[in-house]
Structure 1
């Protein structure tokens, strides 16, 4: 098996180590994201909202809020939910930066589709180079074995 360690020029041990690190990072990110909660209150402190990965977690209306007209209360609730969602998103981004770092943060790709396409094109080019290299090696082996 040792003779295949660098076939063709691939460090299998390094590749496995990178894969293990990525799995560990993904597990860490999943754990961190499950604990993220966005919170917001309106300016009058009448509506309080908590928003998590599963959606709206908590909606608290202070008794004084019930004195508002239905339209005004509805607007306060909607605005506070939007603020809690924005807070949640900011906290998700912070958690992802903690796990992956600024450069490797997958959230960057969501915000910058052009960068995502560039990374996909780069991955495709790497795949094509690897495929061509493997096929070249297989062709050479085939010739040596007279197949």
Structure 2
């Protein structure tokens, strides 16, 4: 019977962890929706904003039009990369704040660690399934005896 108690405790713990993870995922979605990366030239003449995976805004002061077209295009492209990087930094900060060392982005980047986590989960589930099967078999035997 102790084995069954351990199984139920493990299942309760897993359910609690899943609930907490989904709550964090909902909060993550809310926080990520508000992220906007920005980049501005030193003189403030050109500003690029990055949101939802693409350029969301481009402001060009008329004084910036004095630049050559190639320089203007290069500056806009550079700023778009900087704005995207700013957005990514903000996203990483939100992920770290919510998930700490259990940051899903970091787990995926660490393929070896990810494989270890998958192996551990497989072992836990395999053990739980085996324990459940044993419990069902014992209950069926008892029913046949009565």
Shorter chain as denominator, the TM-score bin is: 0.7 to 0.9
CA–CA distance in structure 2, aligned partners of residues 9 and 107 of structure 1: 30
Question: How big is each residue's C-alpha offset from its partner over 1:40-96, in whole Å with a ceiling of 9 and x where there is no partner?
Answer: 113443321111225221111121221222222111111110111111011001111
SS at match of 1:125: helix
Q: 2: distance between equivalents of 1:113 and 1:46?
A: 43
Bigger proportion of residues as helix: 2
**CA–CA distance in structure 1, aligned partners of residues 107 and 121 of structure 2:** 14
Distance 1:114 1:105 in 2: 15
C-alpha RMSD over aligned residues: 2.3
Partner of 1:83: 82
The correspondence of residues 91-106 of structure 1 with structure 2, limited to 5 A, is 91-101=90-100, 103-106=101-104
Instruction: Provide the residue aligned with 1:36 in structure 2.
Output: 35
Matched with 2:127 is 129
**8 A Cα contact 1:8 1:137, kept in partner:** no
Provide the residue aligned with 2:140 in structure 1: 142
SS class of match (2:7)? coil
Question: How far has the Cα of 1:8 moved from its partner?
Answer: 5.9
1:57 corresponds in structure 2 to: 56
Scaled by the length of structure 2, the TM-score of the pair is 0.81
Structure 2 runs not aligned, ≥5 long: none
SS in 2 for 1:65: helix
The answer for unaligned runs of 5 or more in structure 1 is 1-5
Number of equivalences = 141
